[in-house]
Amino acid sequence: MSAPQQPHPGQPGYQAPPDYPAPQQPYAYPPRPGHAPPPGYPQPGYPTHPGYPPQPGPHGAPGYPGYTVPPPGYAPAPPAHVGQPPADPPPAFVLPPGFLAAQAQGQPAPPPSTGPGWWRRNWWGLLVIVPLLVTALGPELPELYRKWHNTKPNERVHVAGGQWASFGGGRIRLISLKRAPALTTYEGRPYTPPVTMQIWQATVEVDVTEDADLEGCDFSVADARGRVFSASPQELNGVDVDRASCLRPFDAPKTGPFTVVATFATSALPQGLRVTVGTELPRYLWLTAPD
């Protein structure tokens, strides 16, 4: 520049060099006094003459609310954000590239992304999902598992050949599992079961101390298909059979094993005796008789 005393742009008397291009800066607002407005910018009535007042301090940028009242006698200011708008900030949410590939066929290619990708910008949020899921669902899982697995006899503990089995704080063994001998009703008449029904009796030795969990045992037998038949069924109502239990009978010795007989009505050949104790679930004993 050959004229050092030329006024600054924005000051009265400033002349743009002849080859000065129309400014294309993103924030070309407002046109500085003395500048030719950029193409497409002509604002009817907008003052371009010298004497445009200095802006009122650092916060007085046009577009700021505090600027909306011009000094008295001044021409009305243009509405905010005429001229070129500021460049868009990076969008808050953009689908990852290729997400809509199927739809994009035949469409013009989307403008190339400028900032970091969606996955990059949200990696921490995605990472947080993992511990959130674990803390939300995790505590429930053991309970759910317990509900469907641990409250039913699902884990068989097989003790074969009439061996003693330790279970629920006591001992128990199967002496025999046989067809029942002739039974009578409580009135003393002989009882003949229907031909569709077989009656089986399991003779069991139990050794249990008082208050052991085994005292609350339940007996059942299962056939080859795994079908379960409970002891002392209502099919045998009126028939003189014992109600089997692991409680020490009042007339049994105070210590040592005692014998109980459990009676079953089945529709098939039982393969062994099941002993379930509530506190031992899901484990249950599967006792098979000596050969």
Partner 1 sequence: MATFQVRLVDSRLVSSSIGRGQGDDAVYGVGPYGGLRDLFSLQRVIAGLGALAVLATVPFGGMKKAVDVHPDRGLERLAVNQVYDAGPYKITITGARLLKDQPPLYATNKANRWVIILATVEVTADESRNDAATAIHLRGVAGVPDMDGMLRNDADSVLVRSDLTVFYAAHPGMPEELVIGWEQDSKAAVPTEVDVLVTGRTYRMNTFNESMEWLDEEDRAIVTVPVLDRRNT
Partner 2 sequence: MRGTLGRVGSWLAGAVALLLVVNVGHRVMVFNNAASDRERPYEVSAEVGSMALARTFTAGVMSVRGAGAIIDPRGGNPHVSTGVWVIVTVRAASRDEPVAIGFAGLRDAAGRVYWASERVKQDLRGGRTLQPGIRVEGEIAFEVPRAAPSGGLTVLLAKNMFERRMEDILAFKLDPVDAATVTGWAADKKATLTPTKVLG
Binding-residue total with partner 2 (CB under 8 A): 20
**Residue 93 CA, distance from chain mean position:** 25
Segment interacting with partner 2, rule: CB under 8 A, options 26-34, 88-96, 122-130, 223-231: 223-231
d(CA 133, CA 235) in angstroms, rounded, equals: 51
Three-state SS at 239: strand
From candidates 65, 73, 76, 98, binder to partner 1 by CB under 8 A? 65
Structure tokens at 155: 């884990």
- Name which of 103 and 237 has its Cβ closer to partner 2: 237
Please tell me the distance from the alpha carbon of residue 243 to that of residue 231, in angstroms, as a whole number. 8
Please tell me whether residue 77 binds partner 2 under the rule CB under 8 A: no
Q: Which stretch binds partner 2 (CB under 8 A): 78-86, 141-149, 205-213, 266-274?
A: 266-274
Binding map of partner 1 across residues 225-254, x = CB under 8 A, - = no contact: ------------------------------
Question: Do the strands 283-287 and 155-159 form a parallel or antiparallel pair, or are they unpaired?
Answer: parallel
59: contact with partner 1 by CB under 8 A: yes
E-assigned strands of the chain? 155-159, 165-167, 170-179, 183-184, 190-191, 198-208, 218-223, 228-230, 258-266, 270-276, 283-287
Residue 156 or residue 227: which is nearer to partner 2 going by CB?
227
Residue 233 binds: one of partner 2, partner 1, none (C-beta under 5 to 8 A by kind): partner 2
- Please say which residue, 225 or 254, places its beta carbon nearer to partner 2: 225
Q: Is 214 in the site for partner 2 (CB under 8 A)?
A: no
41 closest CA partner among 24, 57, 56:
24
Q: Does 66 bind partner 1 (CB under 8 A)?
A: yes
Peptide bond into 30 cis (omega under 30): yes
| Residue numbers at the binding site for partner 2 (CB under 8 A) | 65, 193-197, 220, 223, 226-230, 233-235, 265-268
| Residue numbers at the binding site for partner 1 (CB under 8 A) | 59, 64-67, 69
